Amino acid sequence: MKKINHYLICFFCWLALVISLTLVLGVIVILVGKGIGAINWNFISQPSTNFGQSGGILYQIVGSLLIVIVAFLLSFPVAIAAALYKSEYLTNKKWQYWSDMMLHILNGIPSIVFGVFALLFFINICGAHVSWWLGSLILAIMMLPILTFSSYFYLQRLSPEIRDSCLALGLTKGQFIRSFLLKRSFVGAVSGSFLGLARILGETAPIMWVATVFAGGAIPSSWSEPVATIATHILILAQQANDPQAVSNGWGASLILISLVFILAGIGFYMRRQQLRIQ
Amino acid sequence: MLENLNIYPSMLKYNKELGLQHTLALSFFVIIALPVLIFFVLLIQSKRAFLEVGLGLLSTSWFPAGQEYGILAMLYGSAVVVILALAIAVPLSLLSALALTEFVPKSLQLTIKSILEILAGVPSIIYGLLGIVILCPWLEQVFDISTGRTLFAGGLLLALMILPMMISLFEDVFSQIPHEFRDNSSSLGLNKSQIILALILPISKYPCFNIILLAMSKALGETMAIMLVIGCVDKFPNFWLPLSAGQTVTSKLGRDLGNYSFHSIEFSVMIAMALILLIPTIIFSFVLKKRELVR
């Protein structure tokens, strides 16, 4: 009986592992298999025409990168400053608890709620027009907790000897932060930024009402213009699921998006592994 | 601040110190204030829905032209989809993670784990495309129904989406159990399956529960993929089987929010739905934080 139980448990564990790996890798195999046929130089270098049914996705790639890079530039300094404050100046236990809490909540808010908030706050309350920098702003908010935690935990891993010797040399807290901790928080935040960028690159819901147009996006020439992104482009193509040409273009765009995401996430996880090794 | 003054009488240095602290504090409190701001903006905008519709929100029919603003159908859809997804993904990921930590060789384990971590980041819109092009037609064939865009399809797709994340989190928990425990157990004569039943599962009961909560909050908030495969019919499903088209809170928001004008009452009801979506997130964060402190 014991033996049978043992074999049953082993069998089900292995079965589950095989099923999940098949499913998860199957997704990638399907994406690569279907997407590789649609990608050629024209697909990357041409603007799309006819609601994406023909042509390429040049403007979408530019739009995605623009929104995401500006979001990164907006959130990076704020996140570093917040992490430094949380780690160096915030000694009150209660405040530590509540700041952790707020960061956790901000990290867990569903992306669609960010979209609703952006529509309400930027467009309805502040009266802004649909433009790409609003998308950057809301994505920057989504990135903030990831960057802050990443930078904060790297600061926390600093050995107390280093802190003590710096203070023993007569540095004030401010000098210690400027000359030593700033660089360290920077390093911590960089690995988090890759992970954060990988997360926000594929986001559609937060920006679909405030920053993107569904047809005929172009490279923006001013602040107050909407753009098209790869993710919204896939959304449009997915809604034309009966048209094989549109679906094929959708697979191509998905493959490009997923390659970008995987490269960013891969770099991020690699850097985090490295950081966990050194003190 | 007084100690600073004593050590550094020079006013310039004192100001520099304080200036730095205040700059850092400003960014910090901006971040802390953001969730509160989001909550209150949503609350103020949905006030009208709560005051004017009130208990009418808890009806099953959504028909803005006829002054009916029931959101029960959407809540039901969300619940069905999340429960389906968890029912599929929890056992599958738990057993896979057990196999990964207990049976797979160490070198292979790290490779699979890295792959899963990266795969957890596949954007949801891509799952949506996958669902609408491959999963829905497949369901049509298997169950012989006119359209594959059903609550069931949403649940399956959601299970597929949270699977890599859950396996990698479960694996984290199981591999943190010290190896001495396993060695001691096996020297007492327990075989691997007995170690799993008597040691691994009881010890990691609470962390596993946390992971399920986390997956639940992720699943509740998924929009783009669900929106494409759910069918988007605002009715309460006629028969209680999930093989009919439905609507979740997120898909309703994603599809229709842009269609209503600001200041209309249906817009306010939509904001109330977003608020309802936010509340589980807050509760789960509190529960997770509390458990972290208890352990």
Confidence band for B165, pLDDT divided at 50, 70 and 90: very high
How far apart are the C-alpha atoms of B118 and B122, rounded to whole Å?
A: 8
Counting beta carbons within 10 angstroms of the beta carbon of residue A33, is it exposed (0 to 12), middle (13 to 18) or buried (19 or more)?
A: exposed
Question: What percent of chain B has a predicted confidence (pLDDT) above 90?
Answer: 27
Q: List, in sequence order, every beta strand (DSSP E) within chain A.
A: 48-49, 54-55
pLDDT higher for B76 or B231? B76
Average pLDDT of the residues in A52-64: 81
Total residues belonging to chain B: 295
The residue written with tokens 């603003």 in the block is B69
pLDDT digit string, tens, across residues B234-266: 777 766 666 788 888 898 888 888 888 888 888
Question: What percent of chain B has a predicted confidence (pLDDT) above 70?
Answer: 92
Helix (H/G/I), strand (E/B), else coil: B182: helix
Confidence band for A52, pLDDT divided at 50, 70 and 90: low
User: Do the chains contact at B21 and A90, CB–CB below 8 Å?
Assistant: no
User: Do the chains contact at B123 and A201, CB–CB below 8 Å?
Assistant: yes
User: Do the chains contact at B278 and A109, CB–CB below 8 Å?
Assistant: yes
pLDDT digit string, tens, across residues A67-102: 999 999 999 999 999 999 998 888 888 888 899 899
Dihedral sign of CA atoms B78, B225, A238, B134 in order: negative
Shortest Cα–Cα distance, A248 to chain B (Å): 10
Q: How many cross-chain Cβ pairs, A to B, lie less than 8 Å apart? A: 263
C-alpha separations of B272 from A227, B58, B252 in Å: 29, 12, 12
Average pLDDT of the residues in B79-108: 92
* Amino acid type, B253: L
User: Do the chains contact at B193 and A10, CB–CB below 8 Å?
Assistant: yes
pLDDT the model gives residue A56: 77
Among A6, A16, A144, whose Cβ lies nearest the Cβ of B99? A16
Specify if B150 maps to a domain. yes
Shortest Cα–Cα distance, B32 to chain A (Å): 6
Specify if B222 maps to a domain. yes
Among candidate residues A98, A75, A65, the one with its CA nearest the CA of residue A147? A75
Q: Helices B72-102 and B151-175 sit at what angle, rounded to 10 degrees? A: 40
Dihedral sign of CA atoms A105, A106, A107, A109 in order: positive
Average pLDDT of the residues in B217-227: 89
Among B16, B31, B95, whose Cβ lies nearest the Cβ of A13? B95
pLDDT digit string, tens, across residues A143-192: 999 999 999 988 888 888 888 888 888 888 888 888 888 888 888 889 88
pLDDT the model gives residue B294: 39
How far apart are the C-alpha atoms of B105 and A17, rounded to whole Å?
A: 13
User: Do the chains contact at B223 and A124, CB–CB below 8 Å?
Assistant: no
Q: Nearest chain B Cα to A178, which residue?
A: B20
Average pLDDT of the residues in B270-278: 90
Task: For domain A36-277, give its CATH number from 3.20.20.30, 3.40.50.620, 1.10.3720.10, 3.40.720.10.
Answer: 1.10.3720.10
How far apart are the C-alpha atoms of B52 and A172, rounded to whole Å?
A: 58
Shortest Cα–Cα distance, B123 to chain A (Å): 5
Average pLDDT of the residues in B185-209: 88
Range of the domain at B113: 83-261
Q: Regarding beta strands A54-55 and B68-69, do their DSSP bridges make them parallel or antiparallel, or are they unpaired? A: unpaired
Cβ–Cβ under 8 Å, residues B228 and B131: yes
Counting beta carbons within 10 angstroms of the beta carbon of residue A149, is it exposed (0 to 12), middle (13 to 18) or buried (19 or more)?
A: buried
Average pLDDT of the residues in B218-232: 87
pLDDT the model gives residue A215: 67
Query: What CATH number has the domain bearing residue B148?
Result: 1.10.3720.10
Q: How many domains does chain B have?
A: 1
pLDDT higher for B219 or B261? B219
User: Do the chains contact at A269 and B91, CB–CB below 8 Å?
Assistant: no
Average pLDDT of the residues in A41-50: 76
The DSSP string of B244-277 is S-B--HHHHHHHHGGGSPTTSHHHHHHHHHHHHH
Average pLDDT of the residues in B118-129: 90
Q: What is the token pair recorded at B164?
A: 């890599």
pTM, whole model, 2 decimals? 0.90
Q: Nearest chain B Cα to A146, which residue?
A: B31
Average pLDDT of the residues in A49-62: 77
C-alpha separations of B290 from A73, B210, B286 in Å: 34, 11, 6
Q: Residues 87 to 116 of B: which have CB under 8 A from any A CB?
A: 91-96, 98-100, 102-104, 112, 114-116
Average pLDDT of the residues in B35-61: 86
Mean pLDDT score of chain A: 87
Specify if B192 maps to a domain. yes
Among A219-233, A251-265, B116-130, B156-170, the minimum mean pLDDT is found in: A219-233
Task: Flag whether residue A199 sits within 8 Å of chain B, measured between CB atoms.
Answer: yes
Among A214-223, A241-250, B64-73, B264-273, the minimum mean pLDDT is found in: A214-223
pLDDT the model gives residue B194: 86
User: Do the chains contact at B192 and A78, CB–CB below 8 Å?
Assistant: no
pLDDT higher for B146 or B217? B217
Specify if B116 maps to a domain. yes
> b/e map of A205-218 (b: 16 or more CB within 10 Å)?
bbbbbbbbbeeebe
pLDDT higher for B59 or B42? B42
pLDDT digit string, tens, across residues B42-54: 999 888 888 888 7
Task: Flag whether residue A82 sits within 8 Å of chain B, measured between CB atoms.
Answer: yes
pLDDT the model gives residue A73: 94
pLDDT the model gives residue A257: 92
Average pLDDT of the residues in B163-168: 93
